Amino acid sequence: MAAVFVLIGLVVLGLLAGTHLYLWRRFVRDVSAPGSLWRRLGTVLAVLLPVTTLGALVSGRAGAPFLVEQILAWPGFLWLACLLYLTLALLAGELVRFVLRRTPWGRARSVQAPAAEPAPAVQESARVAEPVTPAGGPSPSAGAAVPADAGPAAPEAGPAAADAGATGSAVAGPSGDGAHTVPLAAPVPSRRVFLARTLAVTAGAAGLGTTAAGAYSVLNGPTLKHVTVPLAKLGRRTHGYRVAVVSDIHLGPILGRGHTRRIVDAINGTQPDLVTIVGDLVDGSVAHLGPAAEPLRELRSRHGTFFVTGNHEYFGDARAWIDHLRELNVHPLENTRRELPGFDLAGVNDLAGEDQGEGPDFDRALRDRDTERACVLMAHQPVQIHEAVDHGVDLQLSGHTHGGQLWPGNHLAALANPTVAGLERYGDTQLYVTRGAGAWGPPVRVGADSDITVVTLAAKQA
């Protein structure tokens, strides 16, 4: 097993190295001259940024001080998102260029014109020689003209002018009262360099712009969604019951107390009857993140706030967080249930708890209940829906997927989860999956906005 993890790690490192090399070639080497400032700076960044990302990924697991985690997290995780969208933008540009080269216009442009004859040096920089009286010699006759290319100075003018024509500098004549220079035109970049710079600027703007918009989406706070779910067993008196569903808050080195405050204010503004936190609340210890979770004690609802663990709680000390949440008036449901007016609310631990002997136990949570009453189950991962169906659950509330968080991650999430986001039915059981209110890793969301959902339970008899 250890060998498999080592092999996977080597493959990931190789992929990261190859991707950074590709970006360096397109954004640095192809658009700059050797020894230029951008070539040196771009090469340094191509080494420093991936090191920062690796540090952000491993610092928490390695037990680094929390301050070090915070310092590494912002640049390291943001660059991870930039890396994805810069690479996708470059590949899209490469595809466009490939297609254009095969159009009639592209083929015509690819035909090189014959090189033009270089203009004579005397035409590039014309120097008019004034009459010169040699020391001790007779003066030349008045009005006699000496051609610019005459005499021993003429052979030197050609190489100098040719070199100036290549570099774009002016040709300087020999010193003297009558000497003057004519500046040459600046060199025009080749078509290859022009296309490389166009691709780099376009892809850079698209990739960085996408990342910036996705970061703003997270830092601006989750959006509110409203979903109505009819339940066949729900009594008429409970019709219209409002459940606030929030998941994947991911308090950590990036998202802290301000993030919690925005979520609490948004939930309280909906005036729910019940609040459910469906796992992945934190990425760290109570010692580091306890103050960030403090605003949770201000959640207000008619029947309280309930919590079930997610897989990220078990990356740290899940038991310490369960005890701390009780102090914040948040009630953990550890494979148990509560009878509320009109329905039962049950909760099961996350699958990741199995390694610590605290995995999900549906029999314990749902045994001996009145099957004539509607049952709402809190379970972090959507894959737990199959056991929920077997136990006659009416509605399962889940998170975990983030809706994919970073497009095209939604397609990868769909491979591992029966539902990525939204409401779907599995037999007589309905499953609602929220996209979550935070973000893991890069504080960026693209194509999967964060959300808090108010689920309104509807009685079919009503």
Q: How many CA atoms lie within 13 A of 36 on its CB side?
A: 10
- Over residues 304-316, the mean pLDDT reads 96
| Banded pLDDT at 164 (limits 50, 70, 90) | very low
Mean pLDDT of the chain: 85
- Other CB atoms within 10 A of residue 47 CB: 10
CA distances from 27 to 22, 196, 205, 434 (A): 9, 8, 12, 38
pLDDT at 414 over 80: yes
- pLDDT higher than 90, residue 214: yes
- For 448, the token pair is 């999967």
Chain centroid offset of residue 333 CA: 33
Average pLDDT over residues 308-316: 95
Mean pLDDT of 274-300: 97
Rounded to 5°, the CA angle 264-296-67 comes to: 105
Burial of 448 (0-12, 13-18, 19+ CB in 10 A): buried
Q: Give the pLDDT band (50/70/90) at residue 188.
A: low
Neighbours of 344 (CB within 10 A): 21
The answer on pLDDT for 221 being more than 70 is yes
Backbone angles phi, psi at 174, to 5 degrees: -65, 150
pLDDT of residue 60: 82
Q: Which residue has the higher pLDDT, 259 or 168?
A: 259
d(C-alpha 168, C-alpha 171), whole Å: 9
Chain centroid to Cα 393, Å, comes to 37
Q: Are 347 and 336 in contact (CB under 8 A)?
A: yes
What is the C-alpha to C-alpha distance for residues 313 and 321, in angstroms, rounded to an integer?
8
Give the pLDDT band (50/70/90) at residue 100: confident
